[in-house]
């Protein structure tokens, strides 16, 4: 009976360790227009990966993005992202296959799901790597591209040379067992 209880406790802990989360992941976007290239960054990415259910959910408050120029940040939030009306961007989905992770291993992963921004949901595919680091935490690194027009974010012709239609999004997060 004692071994049965120990097995149950161990099994419960292993199952619980299949869920990982972060509240301080990094997001970087690159806007590479003909006359201007700039990055926006935030270290406020929130996210969850549940390996046992094969679900993931990541979101960011767009008000936390900073480009290094306060006036540009204000224009980005007020005129393009409209963060008072649409404050968050979110990716929800599943991995196409669940990686078998051991400490020190790195697996290529592909997530498919919906990316929601500016009130628009669009199916996307995101490629990245998932690594199990020595502390038992996971490190996620991924990149994907979006077109502003896919999310009904207009780029005025006068700003075309300063703001790119295509934005390259990079994320990096350490996810801790929940």
Tokens of 109: 């992963």
Residue-wise pLDDT for 72-96, tens only, equals 999 999 999 999 999 999 999 999 9
Mean pLDDT calculated for residue range 99-116: 93
Domain positions in the chain are 19-177
Domain 19-177 falls under CATH 2.60.40.10: no
Instruction: Specify the pTM.
Output: 0.85
Sorting pLDDT into bands at 50, 70 and 90, what band is 16?
A: very low
| Distance separating alpha carbons of residues 65 and 139, to the nearest angstrom | 21
Q: Are 67 and 38 in contact (CB under 8 A)?
A: yes
């Amino acid at each position: 009976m004692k071994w049965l209880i120990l097995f149950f406790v161990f099994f419960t802990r292993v199952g619980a360790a299949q869920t990982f989360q972060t509240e301080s992941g990094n997001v970087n976007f690159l806007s590479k227009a003909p006359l201007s290239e700039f990055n926006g960054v935030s270290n406020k990415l929130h996210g969850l990966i549940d390996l046992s259910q094969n679900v993931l959910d990541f979101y960011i408050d767009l008000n936390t993005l900073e480009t290094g120029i306060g006036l540009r940040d204000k224009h980005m939030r007020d005129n393009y992202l409209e963060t008072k009306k649409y404050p968050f961007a979110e990716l929800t989905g599943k991995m196409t296959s669940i990686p078998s992770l051991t400490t020190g291993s790195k697996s290529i992963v592909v997530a498919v799901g919906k990316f929601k921004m500016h009130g628009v949901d669009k199916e996307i595919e995101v490629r990245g790597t998932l690594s199990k680091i020595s502390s038992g935490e996971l490190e996620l690194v991924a990149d994907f591209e979006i077109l502003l027009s896919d999310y009904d974010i207009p780029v005025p012709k006068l700003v075309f040379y300063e703001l790119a239609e295509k934005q390259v999004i990079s994320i990096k997060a350490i996810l801790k067992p929940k």
